[in-house]
Structure 1
Amino acid sequence: MNLEELEPTKKPAPKKDLTVLSIDELRDYIATLRTEIERTEAAIAAKQAHRSGAEAFFKK
């Protein structure tokens, strides 16, 4: 069994209507998205480190 199969699956969030946002609101939205991307990448790195540690432990 693959560990990724145990991860919950989610449908993508509906796309935000960008046409109603001002330029400043769009810039703020981009900043929010970048922060969320960084947070997500950190979570991925932590999970990969955890997986690598577990794999190394069980391969001994």
Structure 2
Amino acid sequence: MHSDIRVCSNWEHAHERPVYTLGDRCPKCDAPAENSAPPPFDPTDRYGEYRRRARPDGPD
């Protein structure tokens, strides 16, 4: 998945909260911006079954 919205790669150290942009660089600190979309779902995830069981709303 690819998103057009990008986030400052250095926001945890340079800003109080994430800085979002559509460009390749952060408008406030000029650091590179990275994709803000979460990683895609991986059906071959070896530990997915255990994580789903550990969730309070997971299957019994």
TM-score bracket relative to the smaller structure: under 0.3
Bigger helix fraction: 1
Structure showing greater radius of gyration is: 1
Q: TM-score normalized by structure 1? A: 0.23
